[in-house]
Structure 1
Amino acid sequence: MTAVILLKELKKFIEEHTKDIILCVRVKKNSGESKERTAQVYTMQLPDKEAETQQIPYILLQFLTGKDEQNEGVSAESECKIRIVVATYSEDGGAGAMDVLNLLTRIRVALLKAGIVGEQFLLKKPLEYIVYPDSSAPYYLGEMLTVWGMPKIEREVELEWQ
């Protein structure tokens, strides 16, 4: 029922829905590494500073903000915002940007179809996403901003002065 659980559930959801998208990987010459793989999904931060380029392609899920609110005469609401960052690599500029758009689109469609993640987290609209137009070749970035309805937490103790 917390943002931590939401991040874990969202990670599983995105891994499941993007597992068949094979993307380019930058490899060192004669390293024997594969030149393609699926995007790895991380929560909150990448493992280290070097991972910003060395782990591409990746999808990074970051908690941004949370809000608990109750207006007069309305039941309590709880929500949080999660940013989904997508990074890809390609020597072909058009292909790199399209890879970002492909991942964002796959995630977008899956989220909108499901409408819920982890049986308790409700996706709210609007769902915003962008592929950055900046020239950062051979790395390409985009992101999606999601808003999630969270299970509300009720006060367990009644205060006498209320």
Structure 2
Amino acid sequence: MSASLLLIELKQFLEHVFEHVGVGDESESLKIHIGWLPQTKAPSPGSGPAKQPDSDFPYLIIRALDGVEEEDNGKVTIRMLVGVQAKEENGYVEILSLIEKTKQALLKTGIIGGKFEIERPVKWKLFEEQPYPEWVGEILTTWTVPAILREVVFD
């Protein structure tokens, strides 16, 4: 339960952070998703071609990777995949800027939703191979989450 709530809180927090921030060549709004990019849907028969967005970029995908429950609290590892589209040579700088803005917002706040605390270090990386004009990277974070307490039933 804690991991799913953390994902929801992170999405809401990051939507607020990037509400008025343009990303990429076109200064588009960042699309934030939990898990994966939305699936494209086939059109219903007789309705013509499917209307799809021109691109899923720019995006930030939030995924829970793993977790552990300890006596005092739990830990959840979150991977954030980020992507921008930039045809100019500034694509490298655009993706770094998106990673940096995300990282700074999370570290400055420290606690999300009043109960999920980010731990240091926060790791990030760019992939060696980039599918030009698309640039992708990732941010890896660990969060302390509230412990699940045993319920004692007295007869």
TM range (shorter): 0.7 to 0.9
> How many Å separate the matches in 2 of 1:121 and 1:87?
25
> How many Å separate the matches in 2 of 1:154 and 1:65?
20
Which residue does the alignment assign to 1:11? 11
Which residue does the alignment assign to 1:63? 64
My pick for the range that moved more, 131-140 or 2-11, is 131-140
The aligned length equals 142
* TM-score, reference length from structure 1: 0.79
* Aligned residue among 71, 83, 86 for 1:87: 83
Q: Can you give the 5+ residue segments of structure 2 that lack an aligned partner in the other structure?
A: 42-51
Q: CA deviation at 1:109?
A: 0.8
* Aligned residue among 130, 137, 147 for 1:152: 147
Output the aligned Cα RMSD: 2.1
Alignment of 1:114 with 2:115, yes or no, is: no
Residue identity matched to 1:86 = V
Q: CA deviation at 1:49?
A: 6.4
Residue identity matched to 2:4 = V
Q: CA deviation at 1:128?
A: 0.3
What do residues 33-86 of structure 1 show as CA deviations (whole Å, max 9, x unaligned)?
A: xx44111100011112699x831110000010011124xxxxx33010110110
Residue identity matched to 2:135 = Y
Q: Can you give the 5+ residue segments of structure 1 that lack an aligned partner in the other structure?
A: 26-34, 71-75
